[in-house]
Amino acid sequence: MEMTTDLVRARSLVQRAGRIVVLTGAGVSAESGVPTFRGAGGLWRNFRPEELATPEAFARDPELVWEWYRWRRELVQNCEPNAAHHALATLALSRDGVRIVTQNVDGLHARAAVARATALGARVDAAFPLELHGSILRSRCTRCETRLGDDTQARCARCGARLRPDVVWFGEMLDPDVIGEAQRLARNADLCLVVGTSAIVYPAAGLASLARAVIEVNPDVTPLTSTADISLRGTAGAVVPQLI
Ligand code: BV8
Ligand code: ZN
């Protein structure tokens, strides 16, 4: 992507910003091979995510919902963080005041944080993302809230209740501490760098407008485009490394 004036302006905004919140969506993982929710390939057996990622779907057919999550878990474990994940992790590790807040549940930001922190000999937590919607790599008990890493059994070892993916479904509240921290970070941010989200899922999509300035990176136009200070029309893998 040639250095357009917008890219030059965006780069200087990133350099001058003190505190930056990076808000990412499924688009940041598209070049890693993870299907987005609303783009092509986001479907599984002709189900839309909004039909399966709900408490009602899980209550009605837990096995079908688990089958979808196991398929997604297997898929993301075979994907690698891409240049955008690594560039964002490097940004967060190389200067203070940068926090990554993600809607994604694929764990790729965390993997990039570990890889970059190891390479830079830095403490990983600065690049660890705030996961607004949880992670499909974890499960939790539907009764006693025990959380498990990579589990295989469907029942809680402690209380015998059914396990569920440790994600926030449509119609469920986000963890108040997590969304509260994300809103505090966005309110205090000089810049919100929005990468790869269709900006239609709330409350996450409402974070960008809390920051003093917004830069958007997306191949398509979104509801944020008209209010963003700069909107870079390109993919995360191509644009984000040039921004950092
Ligand atoms: C809540 C975890 C309130 C699960 C997710 C009617 C009924 C029920 C609820 C609602 C309703 N109407 C509105 C709501 C609220 C609802 C909502 O906002 N719905 C939307 C669809 C209208 N929100 C909720 O339900 C939230 N909870 O509001 O609770 C409440 C109040 C009181 C009491 C009880 C409850 C919970 C929302 C969380 C849902 N869980 N995920 C799972 O993943 O299995 S959200 C899911 O969508 C993913 O996390 C995803 O990240 C998120 C947003 O999607 P995007 O990330 O933006 O992905 P998408 O595919 O849409 O877009 C990709 C973008 O990338 C595109 O713009 C594309 O152009 C771009 N792109 C493509 N390639 C690239 C790229 N960009 C860069 N580079 C590329 N290469
Ligand atoms: Zn339990």
User: Which atom of ligand 1 is found nearest the CA of 198?
Assistant: 67
Print the SS3 string covering 134-160: EEEEEEEECCCCCEECCCCCCECCCCC
C-alpha–C-alpha distance, residues 76 and 78, integer Å: 5
Torsion angle, CA of 90/91/92/95, rounded to 10 degrees?
110
Tell me the best of 1, 24, 34, 36 to mutate to test the pocket of ligand 1, counting ligand atoms within 8 Å of each CB and taking the most: 36
Q: What is the pLDDT of residue 28?
A: 98
Quick one: which ligand is closest to 48's CA? 1
Q: Which of 232, 231, 180, 229 is nearest to 206 (CA)?
A: 180
Whether the pLDDT of residue 48 is over 60: the answer is: yes
Say what the pTM is.
Answer: 0.96
Two tokens, residue 48: 């839309």
Reported as a pLDDT band with limits 50, 70 and 90, residue 1 is: very low
147 within 8 A of 166, measured Cβ to Cβ: yes
Q: What is the pLDDT of residue 3?
A: 65
